Amino acid sequence: MRPRERLAAAFPMPFVGVAVLLLLLILVTPNLLSAGPPTAGSLSATADFVVDRVPNSNLTHVYIYGLSSVRYTVIHLRIASNVTWPAPSSPVGFNWSRSVLATNALVLAYATPANPVAFNVTAVYTDAAGASVAYTGAFELDFLPPTLYVIGLTPGLPRTTTETITATSEPLNFLLVSGPVGAT
């Protein structure tokens, strides 16, 4: 019996393959799951815009927060309640009559009875090295019972999303578009 055949009997190929994959995962996992704050522009720092409409309520709730527990330098939410439906292709002519600003915040929450209503969102994240990125998005919402319509007005966002509001409805989530700070 040759030495290679003796090794093959003791270490079958599937076993060796699994062992190599486990070793690779052990070596790579610490890099995938960083214990420190995320870098600007990484998936962990990305901001999420959440729209929630509760059944039998006249309020639309919106939330802006990160995919992981990140503290945003600034979260700015501008609201226009004097909008028409259907939404235009651009929010340029909107009158942003209300503004909510949060600094060094994990989340910004807002509720409004306005219908239809438009939101312009900017969340700025600055990492430990001082690099910054802005996550932005403009949306128009209209609730025509029992359907909630959400139109993304920023390139890179879904143009139209609908949700039938029932007792088991889930909130709608939208990842904001990343770009340089000050470009919004």
pLDDT in tens, 32-67: 556 678 888 888 889 999 999 888 889 999 999 998
Task: Mark whether 7 and 67 lie in a shared domain.
Answer: no
Task: Mark whether 53 and 28 lie in a shared domain.
Answer: no
Q: Could you tell me the two tokens for 95?
A: 């009158």
Task: Mark whether 96 and 12 lie in a shared domain.
Answer: no
Asked if 63 and 111 touch (Cβ cutoff 8 Å), the reply is: no
On whether residue 184 sits in a domain, the answer given is no
Task: Mark whether 50 and 22 lie in a shared domain.
Answer: no
On whether residue 37 sits in a domain, the answer given is no
Provide the domain count of the chain: 2
Q: What's CA 122's distance to the chain center, in Å?
A: 12
Reported as a single tens digit per residue, the pLDDT across 84-131 is: 888 787 888 888 999 999 999 999 999 999 999 999 999 999 999 999
Task: Mark whether 56 and 11 lie in a shared domain.
Answer: no
Task: Mark whether 127 and 173 lie in a shared domain.
Answer: yes
Task: Mark whether 19 and 48 lie in a shared domain.
Answer: no
pTM over 0.75: yes
Q: What is the domain range of residue 80?
A: 43-179
On whether residue 38 sits in a domain, the answer given is no
Asked if 163 and 143 touch (Cβ cutoff 8 Å), the reply is: no
Task: Mark whether 99 and 141 lie in a shared domain.
Answer: yes
